[in-house]
Amino acid sequence: MTALKKEPDNHQDPRLTAAANNEKTSASSPSEIIPFLSAEAFLLTATMISAIAGFLYGYDTGIISGALLQISHDFSLSPHAQELVTSAILVGAVIGALTCGKLSGVLGRRYTVMIVAGIFAAGVIASGISPSATWLGVARLVLGFAVGGASQIVPVYIAELAPAEKRGRLVTFFNISIGIGILTAALVGTFMQDIWSWRVMFSVAAIPALILLLGMIRLPESPRWLVSKKRLKEAHIALDMVRETESEVRREIRAIQRVHDKVERKSRGGWKDLKQPWLRPALLVGLGIAAFTQLSGIEMMIYYTPTLLTNAGFSRDAALHSALGIAAIYLVLTVIGKLVIDHVGRRTLTLWMMPGAIISLILLGAVFRMPGGVSHHSYLIVTCLFGFMIFNSGGIQVIGWLIGSEVYPLGIREKASSLHAAMLWGSNLLLTATALSTVNLLGIGGAMWFYALLNLLGFLFIFFMMPETKGRSLEEIETSLKEGNFYPRGEQQYKQVSRQ
């Protein structure tokens, strides 16, 4: 890959001279690691390996959908106990999200992903050998730490490696991997229901966890994290692995360093940094998107579809096949979202899709309240359910983790992305822990209308508050915050002035 480098830069920053002179002989030089891969191919490889964490996230959260039928029988769980076992992983996810931001700031992104992979392996094995519902809940709490940590660090790691024009497509590999994990869990829950016990369903996830752990060994550290630690030579080498030309590497590191130096002079090095007025728009938008990603009801559909449909009168097989359809739609629409996100834009795509999700939920609530019972309207129920998944998975779910990896400035990225993941998992926990109770209180139809209202609020929030980040470098997004042009209206005014 080193042979592909060209366009020497004669205006090199003196602080990077040593890095440029020594990069070819470095022990971590890309030519010595994977000599047959181009920079683009190596970047894709790094993205796909780290995105295995998304598969584990999707599988380990989604497998409860099919396994819960067996677990409830084996441990004689009440509906409330089912909520506790299901939501235990989400409590752990909040803790993991808040903890791993600090961990990644100290140890680096790559080592944090490796630690998370080890916890994934331990958590799924502990879940598989659980002798009681309490033990299972504790094991899923530990597993949740890995899920939350992965969701916090992997999108950031990919975003910090990716060039601006490819960042959306590459970060959404994490979403695609989540979709593959959810679909795999649905396939296992549907077709292995009478072959595998729920213990095997959990334990088998140790295999991809070990693949992730071993795969991360050869990947580079985030160049932006290395610059923040003043390890310029290593940052140059890491970025050299994923950029085609020397001039790109030097230009990008100079831009990263300029922004970092400005932030460092103002930073106090603690959580108080998040209170700086110029950062509030990024935190408001990022945390708002994180909340509405889950409050839209997506995880409730993934976790509880078999339970809700069997309680409504569907057969077990029909309910499991409906859950499988939901998982397949999630994956397909996430792939489509990946393909269009850098062309259509984050904000535009979401605003196009959310009205469809709102209408689907309103219709779904109406069908459940129609006379004649489920047996007369089963096809309408499944159609509305699938319609919601199409519009939700292809819209706000595509940007949920992506926005969290883009809008937070480098100086607060670890802390802010931790809050982002914690907000997302906290919202998920709130919804999941109350889903069955909400259905019991409002009925299934009323619950669907309630979720439709939450989707409407999310649409209004994105319309008025969320800027477009398509095609902008992380440093450009940070600059717009400092200049007060972050919100959609300020962004439009800035573009008009630039054109004039």
pLDDT tens digits for range 19-38: 444 343 333 444 344 446 78
Domain assignment present for 352 = yes
Tens of pLDDT, residue by residue over 186-203, are: 888 878 877 888 899 999
pLDDT for 208 equals 95
Q: Is residue 225 part of a domain?
A: no
| Mean pLDDT along residues 392-419 | 82
| Residues spanned by the domain of 463 | 39-219+267-499
More confident call, 415 vs 149: 149
pLDDT in tens, 289-337: 999 998 888 877 766 677 677 766 777 777 778 878 888 888 899 889 8
pLDDT at 449 over 80: yes
Per the structure block, which two tokens stand in for 218? 């050869």
CA distance 351 to 345: 10
Residue 372: predicted pLDDT: 62
Alpha-carbon span 66 to 198, nearest angstrom: 8
pLDDT category of residue 11 using cuts at 50, 70 and 90: very low
Give the dihedral sign, CA 158/159/164/169. Answer: positive
**Tokens found for residue 375:** 């047996």
Cβ neighbours of residue 249 under 8 Å, at least 6 residues apart?
Answer: 236, 239, 240, 243
Q: What is the mean pLDDT of residues 44-53?
A: 92
CA atoms within 13 Å, Cβ hemisphere of 424: 31
Tokens at 475, concatenated: 């440093």
CA angle (341 as vertex; 336, 347 as ends), nearest 5:
125
**For a pLDDT cut of 90, what percent of the chain falls above it?**
23
Can you give the pLDDT at residue 269? 53
Closest to 417 (Cα-Cα) out of 428, 406, 427: 406
Cα-based angle 384, 201, 435 (whole degrees, multiple of 5): 40
Is residue 299 in a domain? yes
Give the model's pLDDT for residue 117.
94
pLDDT score recorded for residue 10: 44
CB atoms within 10 A of CB 328: 17
Q: What is the mean pLDDT of residues 213-221?
A: 92
Q: Is residue 357 part of a domain?
A: yes
* Alpha carbons 456 and 279: distance in angstroms, whole number: 26
Length of the chain (residues): 500
Specify the pLDDT at position 475: 79
**Angle at 149 (CA atoms; ends 351, 193), nearest 5 degrees:** 80
pLDDT of residue 287: 92
> Would you state the pLDDT for residue 211?
95
pLDDT digits (tens, 9 = 90+) for 222-255: 888 898 888 888 888 888 888 888 888 888 888 8
* Cβ pair 220, 242 in contact under 8 A: yes
Q: Give the span between the Cα atoms of 23 and 37, in whole angstroms.
A: 17
Please state, in angstroms and as integers, the Cα–Cα distance from residue 187 to each residue in 4, 58, 206, 325, 465, following that order.
Answer: 43, 13, 18, 10, 39
Residue 471 lies in a domain: yes
Instruction: Name residues whose C-beta falls within 8 Å of residue 211's C-beta, 6 or more positions apart in sequence.
Output: 52
> SS3 sequence, the chain?
CHHHCCCCCCCCCHHHHHHHHHHHHCCCCHHHHCCCCCHHHHHHHHHHHHCHHHHHHHHHHHHHHHHHHHHHHHHCCCHHHHHHHHHHHHHHHHHHHHHHHHHHHHHCHHHHHHHHHHHHHHHHHHHHCCCCHHHHHHHHHHHHHHHHHHHHHHHHHHHHHCCHHHHHHHHHHHHHHHHHHHHHHHHHHHHCCCCCCHHHHHHCCHHHHHHHHHHHHHCCCCHHHHHHCCCHHHHHHHHHCCCCCHHHHHHHHHHHHHHHHHHHHHCCCCHHHHHCHHHHHHHHHHHHHHHHHHHCCHHHHHHHHHHHHHHHCCCHHHHHHHHHHHHHHHHHHHHHHHHHHHHHCHHHHHHHHHHHHHHHHHHHHHHHCCCCCHHHHHHHHHHHHHHHHHHHHCCHHHHHHHHHHHCCCHHHHHHHHHHHHHHHHHHHHHHHHHHHHHHHHHHHHHHHHHHHHHHHHHHHHHHHHCCCCCCCCHHHHHHHHHCCCCCHHHHHHHHHHHHC
With tokens 């030097």, the residue in question is 250
What is the rounded distance in angstroms from the CA atom of residue 166 to the CA atom of residue 473? 10
64 — pLDDT class (breaks 50, 70, 90): confident
pLDDT band of residue 270 (cuts 50, 70, 90) is: low
Mean pLDDT of all residues in 365-392: 81
On whether residue 7 sits in a domain, the answer given is no
* CA pair distance 479, 259, nearest whole angstrom: 8
CA–chain centroid gap for 337, Å, is: 14
pLDDT at 145: 92
Q: Is a pLDDT exceeding 70 seen at residue 265?
A: no
Which has the higher per-residue pLDDT, 253 or 265? 253
Assess whether pLDDT exceeds 80 at residue 266: no
pLDDT higher for 216 or 322?
Answer: 216
| CA angle 47–209–114, rounded 5-degree value | 65
Inside any domain, residue 10: no
Q: How many domains does the chain have?
A: 1
User: Can you give the CATH number for the domain in which 323 is found?
Assistant: 1.20.1250.20
Task: Give a yes or no: residue 233 inside a domain.
Answer: no
pLDDT band at 262 (very low <50, low <70, confident <90, very high): low
Q: CB neighbours of 362 closer than 8 A, spacing ≥ 6?
A: 448, 449, 452
* Chain mean pLDDT for the chain: 81
Q: Going by C-beta distance under 8 Å and a sequence separation of 6 or more, which residues neighbour residue 489?
A: none
